Amino acid sequence: MDKVFHSPQAAIADLADGASIAIAGFSVGHGFASSLITALKERGTRDLCIVCNSLGAPGQLRPQILVESKQVSRLVASFSARPGVPSDTERQIAAGELALELVPQGTLVERLRAGASGIPAFYTPTSVGTDVAAGKETREFNGRTYVLETGMTVDYAFVRAVRGDRAGNLEFRGGSQSFNPAFAKAARIAIAEVDELVEVGEIPPERVGLPGIFVSRIVKRTVEAEAPVVLKKKRRADATFRSYNGKPALTRLEIGHRAALLLKSHSYVNLGVGLPTLLTNFLHGRDVMLHAENGILGYGPLGDDETFDRDHYNAGGEWVSIEPGASFFDSIESFEIARSGKLDAIVLGAFQVDGQASIANWSTPQLVGGGVGGAMDLTASTSPLIVLMEHIDGRGDPKLVARCTYPVTAERRVDIVVTDLALLRRVNGRFRLDEVARGFTIEEVLALTPMPVDVAAHVGIMQDAFAATAATEETQK
């Protein structure tokens, strides 16, 4: 059984106008089948429906180029826009040229798994009470509300693997398995692009990540997208701080440090994108196993843009090291972990948190669409939720508000908030101010916090926690 095609162009020769294609890949540029995407752009096939987590960065060999060449009429995705990254996708959506359906990551892969399994629909706790669930049927089970989602199949899938044989068996590496299995299984015709093509039998059975029965065609990679540069600019920003009333608040690194001290040793923790990734700098020796939605459990500190492993990256697409005892898996399993409550803590960034403990972190009025990502699935769990953010946004507006004015990610879910000015805990349904940044009074912080806040009997200083921890570590040596 030989499923090899001699070129990407030959592998997609029957892909007609109006086809639906699930294109695997993660974040701004990881694991996309660049050769197949390039061939499809050259072919000029139009009126496509693209199903994906993300279109990737603009202007590169990722699905975004199909939108830029006006070959796509419908997009089903977890990300249609990212703050600070303008794209032609937003322009086309705003102009009514591109239809958009935003789907949380975990729901996306679950819909494809259901479709592949012949299951027409299922109920999920993800997205309850949000715009994403608007118009969908809901039902209560054991006193909890769930949203009805339908199974999904596609005409084609473009997936990528590190190695494949002529029978279509695929081997994945590191965190790049992610969406590939679910996307391939839901497709009438799954086309695999592989870095290395081998003979049948050269992939040991225990290393086959997707059996060949799910793969219709296989082709060797002919073009490679440039690896994303994701950390240099971020590291410069992490050492900066904002000033309030003419006084310096905590730096971004210090926010991450204070939040890291809230985590229990010997625990499993998910870190979201942005500020939460900074916690990796302060977890050495803590026995904290970090989970990322793309399918990693047990990653460590951030890497760099020069010496990185292309298959080792976190939920923000940033290069990471891998710790002893780590494991890799696909997105289905990743969101089983996320929704099951097995995580001891979830740490997310946010645009807003309100007095009812609701969180908004996927869209703003400046974005067309947004980036739902995995946050709705994570907040659908019962795991404790810690939110990190600056106290005031870049436009000078408070991020702690009486009611969220941005689209909500989850209602009444936030347990702790750490900002560059304060640490607040939710106690008996209300937030309580427990700590403030050095140099700031309780009154100053409350004046910048237009939501109901109680004040602890003793309000500590955030930076004192650093010194206390350092002293404890020194004593234990």
Neighbours of 18 (CB within 10 A): 12
What's the CA gap between 421 and 248, in Å, rounded? Answer: 9
- Is 293 catalytic? The answer is yes
Nearest to 378 by CA among 259, 244, 237, 276: 276
**Residues, the chain, total?**
477
Residue pair 370/237 in contact by the 8 Å Cβ criterion: no
From 149, 293, 318, 435, the catalytic residue: 293
Q: Are 269 and 343 in contact (CB under 8 A)?
A: yes
How many angstroms separate the CA atoms of 200 and 112, rounded? 28
**Which residues, listed in sequence order, are joined to residue 140 by a DSSP beta bridge?**
145
Q: Specify whether the CB–CB gap between 274 and 349 falls below 8 A.
A: yes
Are 23 and 158 in contact by the 8 Å Cβ rule? The answer is yes
Rounded to an integer, what distance in angstroms lies between the CA atom of residue 159 and that of residue 181?
8
Nearest CA to 312 out of 325, 322, 304, 297 is that of 322
Give the integer Cα–Cα distance in Å for 360 and 118: 34
For residue 35, what are the CA distances in angstroms to 9, 43, 60, 185, 195?
9, 12, 12, 21, 11
Give one DSSP letter per residue of 201-217, joined into a string: TSS-GGG-SB-GGG-SE
Contact yes or no for 367/89 (Cβ under 8 A): no
d(CA 381, CA 263): 18
Q: Which residues are catalytic?
A: 293
